[in-house]
A and B are shown apart, each in its own frame.
Chain A
Amino acid sequence: GAVVSQHPSRVICKSGTSVKIECRSLDFQATTMFWYRQFPKQSLMLMATSNEGSKATYEQGVEKDKFLINHASLTLSTLTVTSAHPEDSSFYICSARDGTTQYFGPGTRLLVL
């Protein structure tokens, strides 16, 4: 099946710094990618839909200026958590759509100290 990768797999940063997470579709092109956030013992919550060549669409309650999304190519979307704070610590998971099927990445664990 199709493979989606994320980098880094885990990151620790200081409060106030920005962190960039990459999501790549390795063997297919994805015009649409999705970013989810998952807190411990909770479900995945959709943050935004990343569209290649256009602006991302954010879910209600998600700050677009804090979570910057760039989908510059058909195989890469990036999520930048700007001015990260401890409450942004979470598991960030991306997915890429190939046709009607969504393939999920392995996730990125972010810890903000």
Chain B
Amino acid sequence: GESVGLHLPTLSVQEGDNSIINCAYSNSASDYFIWYKQESGKGPQFIIDIRSNMDKRQGQRVTVLLNKTVKHLSLQIAATQPGDSAVYFCAENTGGFKTIFGAGTRLFVKA
């Protein structure tokens, strides 16, 4: 496999606060990036995506920022809720082919 098998870093936030989850990607040729949410025992769930010709994209309560210069992605979640508690993965894709996952971040939302 190509993704990094590290133990997950953790982010703990208070309910109602904004969350920022960061990710570094590896392939400068990647042209499509996706954020996934994974709850315990389930498959990844699509959150938001962005193509390399953009640097920002907004969805409902979520924003993805892309900095190609330093190969960095971030996911911002506004007004974080307990239901947002999960593991978040960034993923990169080159030419619409296979998707490679980053290390992931576990988000804990404190009520």
Contact = CB atoms under 8 A, between A and B. Distances in A.
A46 B43 contact: no
A100 B7 contact: no
B4 A43 contact: yes
Contacts, number: 75
Interface residues of B, number: 28
Contact of B3 (A44, A61, A100): A44
Tell me the interface secondary structure of chain A in the complex. Answer: strand
B96 interface: yes
A59 interface: yes
B7 A42 contact: yes
B98 to A, nearest CB: 6
Interface in B10-34: 32, 34
